[in-house]
Amino acid sequence: MKKIAIVIGARPQFIKHAALEIALRDDFNVVTIHTGQHYDQNMSDVFFKELNIAQPTHMLNIGSGDHGDQTGKMMIKIEEIVKYERPDVLLVYGDTNSTLAGALVAAKLNIPVAHVEAGLRSFNKAMPEEINRILTDHVSSVLFCPTNTAVANLKREGIDTNVFNEGDVMVDMIRIAREKNILTQSRDYGKYYFSTIHRPYNTDDLDRLMDMIRVFNVLDKPVKFAVHPRTLHKLTQAGVNTARFQNIHFLEPVSYFESLQLQYNAQAVITDSGGIQKEAYVLKKKCVTIRSETEWLETVNSGWNDLVFDNLELLKTKVGNIPQVYEQSLFGDGYASNKISLTLKIS
């Protein structure tokens, strides 16, 4: 049985890993390296207990820090583990510092790197994630793309060997949620908008953050706003009384399945998250993304996602622009994990 080492460290990677481990564990000796880049007990409870996912084999507890410091610490510890475990392949997800650290270590030790969610490009190199995903793709031995657009992006960069469009593993998680009857209609189905905002350029500037909140407060439906702890701290520090914004329900951070349920019952979604843009599409919900660019161009081209950045007033009209055409299989059929497992098994 082949041994596969998998590096995880941030919330989106827990989601992808939960689906993929289920597919891998019958045919691979799975060794999980959790960097601790983000640690959320709620997320761990959901994925390591509720779905019966194995606890991480190695927990590094790196924590937050500057990019160089954090990535360097990860590389030192991951290298020790990889030398000890001697995996046949090392798999990484997405575009975080954990992704890059794992990929660089394996590449330098001549261990094949498998990259899940390869080929994504925002074409904005000011984003650390863009640097991480480009470098990871260029040292990977096998690249699993979620869409044809991602395949085309790699081809433009000269990467066209061992590139596979197997679909998006996050669609697998939504399939699993449906199978577990987690997505159910609530009494307020379609009567509110759901929002998550966490990126520094939207939350660190108090004036911009308050402009966003003021627009939320005059939308035609209430906004259920899952507030990032850093954002709430910013508002509290500035003495903002959130209770005076009566159209906004400020929620504590929610778990993954709670987030899916809130999206499923919303009329539309407002976010700056990459993953939620996809989830909204799969759940057939209009999305407005508070960014000037996105890696998920398919959602914009289809009309199900609008980018709003400079003129936040556009939110008032964009949330209601729901297109008539929908492509069910845009991000795959919900069995990407099985296809990835099979490809790794025979390669």
pLDDT digits (tens, 9 = 90+) for 190-207: 999 999 998 889 999 999
Confidence of residue 61 (pLDDT cuts 50, 70, 90): confident
Confidence of residue 48 (pLDDT cuts 50, 70, 90): confident
What does the pLDDT read at residue 282?
97
| 115-120: average pLDDT | 98
Identified catalytic residue from 198, 228, 233, 249:
198
| 114-121: average pLDDT | 97
| CATH 3.40.710.10 is right for the domain spanning 193-318 | no
pLDDT digits (tens, 9 = 90+) for 201-235: 999 999 999 999 999 999 999 999 999 887 888 89
How many helices (H) and strands (E) are present in the chain, helices listed first? 15, 13
2-168+332-346 has which CATH code? Answer: 3.40.50.2000
User: Is residue 34 among the annotated active site residues?
Assistant: no
Between 37 and 111, the more confident residue is: 111
Does the model's pTM come out above 0.75? yes
Domain boundaries, the chain: 2-168+332-346, 193-318
What does the pLDDT read at residue 240?
94
Q: Do domains 2-168+332-346 and 193-318 have the same CATH topology?
A: yes
Cα–Cα dist 274/117, whole Å: 12
